[in-house]
Structure 1
Amino acid sequence: MSAPLPRLDEDLIARLRADLVAADFTVTGVLDVLGPLASGALSREQPLPARRVASRSASPAATLIRLLTLGDPVDAAEVEAALPTLRVRGALALGLVAEEGDAVVARVDVRPYAADDAQWWVVSDLAEVATGAPVREDHVLGVGGASTTLAAWTIRRPVRRALDLGTGSGVQALHLTRHADSVVATDLSERALAFARFTAALNGCDWDVRSGSMLEPVAGERFDLVVSNPPFVITPRSGAVPLFEYRDGGAAGDAVVADLVRSVAAHLEPGGVAQMLGNWEVPRGSTWTDRVGAWLDGTGLDAWVVQREVQDPAEYAETWSRDGGHHARTADADAMYAAWLDDFASRDVESIGFGVLTLHRPARDRAPFVDLMDERGPVPPAMGESVRVGLEARVWLAEHSDDELLGAAWRAAPDVTEERHTAPGASDPSVIVARQGGGLGRVVRLTTVTAAYLSVADGALTPRQAVGAIAGILDLDPEETTLEVLAFVKDAVKDGLLLRPAD
């Protein structure tokens, strides 16, 4: 039997919104109440410090933290004071709370969320931190690490139509509202859709919310932007492992993400972009680029895939057997661990990759590009603008000839610095690198030739002009120097180390 769902009532939701604003139940308001220590512990799913701090405060925000975040029973009189417009009666009518003697307990999680210079609330099932028990298989997740990763990597340029595929509680749709004229949100889970509708109503958003599996609800439709945090977790088809709707797609191996990659092209407008998270298996004797590259064959899509993490089967089993509130070294956890190991062994899987896929439908008739990168280092919290610049640069390179590239006046990005390392007593550096301060934080090894070019890449001189001077000064073959500079420029442009004057 499913846990209760929130109910839609426009007037009552407006009252709830007014009370949340008045209480300053926002990301900054919660931080002000809890302080950095308790807030940090709560983000790591350790509620005790937050419970200690909030219980000592009589502020409305502290009451709402105890009620809606920590899941504690709260005296009805305190809830009345914290929700003076909605009142306990209204909260009961919305299905947000239940009575427990003289106290009130939450039935759902209402969590403040801030991003893109906006303040929102996300409504979802109570987290394990509130219930103290493993989550249900139909659990609707709130704001999690995967959802924030996808939101951070999504390109935020204005679009006409956007699709949030597998919306869950509506996190990605909230972001899309900021830069899309219309938003369609889909999910196979009717429970998730109920929470998404409530999240939309609470934040004053107008989404077209549809039920169905993957792309079925939008058959025959196209979008300028598709985002998806799909159920990408590779879960054994075994009774030993619970199948959580928010993470498990019901297919063997990595087929859910593979099928989405192969089918999304039909739903993109020319120039449209799809961005999604994914896991992929790497069988023994192959590489992750072989695996993901095969998904892309024949799609006609440009692809830029960044692998961010790699785990072996044991690490993967440990990560996901703990997910949902199951604790290590219990009989259930050990059974799940074994089921994962057996499942991967049946397909001879050596490792599992995780990353972000950015797909683009070319606006003109040309061969698509495929760029599969392994970049596991730290990146800025907001990558969307870097992804936009990188995608547009890759499209430019795909649509222009080498001759045009050599004739463009590139300039070094402001965040690019050069480092020279010299052995003791040596007069010349033994290592020269260009380091990118933002974006993917790339570090590129330079030669004497490419270092010389980068030093004059100021937007006034083209590579062709620079090559002539460099070859002459260093007494090098002009043709070989041109090829070396050309390869460097292609690599540096695609990740934003070199920019066009107009950028």
Structure 2
Amino acid sequence: MSDPRELLAGLRADLRAADYTVDGVARLVGDVASAALDREQPLPALRATAGSREPGAVLLRLGTLGRTVTRGELDAALPRTGTAGAAALGLVAAAGAAPQDEVRPLVDLRPYAADDAGEPVQWWLVSDLGEVATGDVLRPDHVLGVGGASLTLASATVRTPVDRVLDVGTGCGVQALHAARHARRVTATDTSERALDLAAVNAALNEVALDLRHGSLLEPVEPGERFGLVVSNPPFVITPRTGAVPTYEYRDGGMAGDSLVAQLIGSLPSVLEPGGVAQLLANWELHEGQTWSQRVEGWLEGTGLDAWVVQREVADPALYAETWIRDGGQKPGPRFDELYAAWLDDFAARGVDGVGFGVVTLRRPARDGAPLRRFEENLAALSDPLGEVFAAGLAAHDRLALVEDLGDLRLTVAPDVTDERFHTPGDPDPRIVLLRQGGGLRRVAQVDGDLAGLVGACDGELTVGQITAGLAVLGEEAVGEVRQRLYPRVRSLVADGFLRLP
């Protein structure tokens, strides 16, 4: 058998030569089929590649769509690797040695494109075949590929260069691959041996060095180890703890309710270096008489961590149950109904009215002071990447904490900010003025005439003090009163990214 490193090098060269890339697949199948693939609908792509022996088409049908191809077709598509090499790597199984014999995929192998901490990069990721390919329920040790949650975390991650990164619950390793682009060393952990095996394949295939460790949450971290960044797409799904409900390693940490995320957050101070950032995805239960932010804030007590939490989705108990039962590949029928009832019973027993989902950004402060507490709900479509927004927001918080007199600052309006003015017919002055961000979190801030005038004058030439003095003269008010009214709102606009510090 050939050296696995040599096989992977040959496979990498074959995939490049076949243009088995995100852009290459889009060119091959067209916009409609490509968009359908993003929705996990394979039929348009199957129709677009039917009968084609082009290497990209063969690899797409085998690696992404989970269909069989002939040995002769695969040998032609992978001239350096061949069917024998792909089988030796555990990617496929061949029915025989003849060119017309069928070859079936054992794993999902698809292209992935990224553009985060540096130049755009093209990777290939191996994961387990999904329900779309197998037509069956998932195995308990199923290793998920890149989905919506993975993309959300990758977009939200702060990409400031650091020495060491920890990826908790690495799965197929996609977050660790991203982190390796802006860190000297990346440690990745998982409770699933299969996930670590596939993460190792993905690291080797894409020529990335990872330190892979087996264990739950932070258990594999050695005493005294500290990291500048911790990322985690943990098994946060709230699952009934009954024997009737299967446990999937990629989404279920084996704890009741949302306690796994609470435990992870509580243990993060021990592994973050001063100034270090942790970012994770999470679900939290919603209970009557308690806001979602109060629940999450309870997890932060005693940690001393800065916290910025954005709630992105809210699901009622029925919708949440349906989503995750379907995610496991279960189709409607008696078994579906059995699982559905278990979920609803579990939520009812604990008084759960709904489930929130969002992005949690934490930081171990580098200096003493009251920790940041920022909770916001944003259910609208956002702009990628968001990591820059979180990095800028944390930096703005730090700088504002050191500002003694806001009036000395020369602020500028962020380049993506526009204003919208709504007039009553015949009225020369607008009734409503909205400041709108074109990117990032796409916030909208309603401002009055004075604040809109102040923002409009922030061109970096005049100080905030000079601008408010001018507004006081125009409005025939005392300067102190204008500043008392506007300065706190200016601080909020800086913290939200509408205005930028010099």
Of the structure 1 ranges 456-465 and 74-83, higher mean CA displacement relative to structure 2 is found in 456-465
- Over the aligned positions, Cα root-mean-square deviation in angstroms equals 1.4
Of the structure 1 ranges 38-47 and 242-251, higher mean CA displacement relative to structure 2 is found in 38-47
Superposition deviation, residue 8 in structure 1 = 8.1
- Within 1, Cα distance between the matches of 2:435 and 2:84? 62
Is 2:236 aligned against 1:232?
yes
Partner of 1:133: 136
Matched residue SS, 1:217: coil
Partner of 1:417: 418
- Within 2, Cα distance between the matches of 1:49 and 1:180? 40
Structure 2 counterparts to residues 77-476 of structure 1, below 5 A? 77-101=72-96, 102-116=101-115, 117-220=120-223, 221-328=225-332, 330-397=333-400, 399-401=401-403, 403-476=404-477
CA contact (8 A) 1:30 1:61 kept: yes
The number of equivalent residue pairs is 492
What letter matches 1:66 in structure 2? R
What letter matches 1:185 in structure 2? A
- Within 2, Cα distance between the matches of 1:396 and 1:253? 38
Of the structure 1 ranges 74-83 and 451-460, higher mean CA displacement relative to structure 2 is found in 451-460
- Within 2, Cα distance between the matches of 1:70 and 1:319? 22
Superposition misfits of 4+ residues, deviation over 4 angstroms: none
What letter matches 1:108 in structure 2? V
What letter matches 1:127 in structure 2? G
Partner of 1:3: none
What letter matches 1:456 in structure 2? A
Superposition deviation, residue 404 in structure 1 = 3.4
Output the TM-score relative to the length of structure 1: 0.95
Partner of 1:496: 497
Is 2:4 aligned against 1:9?
yes
CA contact (8 A) 2:61 2:67 kept: yes
- Within 2, Cα distance between the matches of 1:222 and 1:404? 36
CA contact (8 A) 1:271 1:363 kept: yes
What letter matches 1:291 in structure 2? R
Matched residue SS, 1:140: coil
CA contact (8 A) 1:234 1:252 kept: yes
Of the structure 1 ranges 74-83 and 46-55, higher mean CA displacement relative to structure 2 is found in 46-55
- Within 2, Cα distance between the matches of 1:351 and 1:467? 45
- Within 2, Cα distance between the matches of 1:456 and 1:172? 42
What letter matches 1:271 in structure 2? G
- Within 2, Cα distance between the matches of 1:327 and 1:382? 35
Matched residue SS, 2:359: strand
Of the structure 1 ranges 305-314 and 319-328, higher mean CA displacement relative to structure 2 is found in 319-328
CA contact (8 A) 2:83 2:94 kept: no
Superposition deviation, residue 61 in structure 1 = 0.8
Partner of 1:47: 42
Output the TM-score relative to the length of structure 2: 0.95
List gaps (5 residues or longer) in structure 2.
Answer: none
Matched residue SS, 1:272: strand
- Within 2, Cα distance between the matches of 1:307 and 1:17? 39
CA contact (8 A) 2:167 2:175 kept: yes
> Which string of whole-angstrom CA distances, capped at 9 and with x for unpartnered residues, describes residues 299-348 of structure 1?
111111011111111111121111121123x1111111111111111111
- Within 2, Cα distance between the matches of 1:210 and 1:106? 27
List gaps (5 residues or longer) in structure 1.
Answer: 1-6
Superposition deviation, residue 88 in structure 1 = 1.2
> Which string of whole-angstrom CA distances, capped at 9 and with x for unpartnered residues, describes residues 336-377 of structure 1?
111111111111111211100111111112221100011111
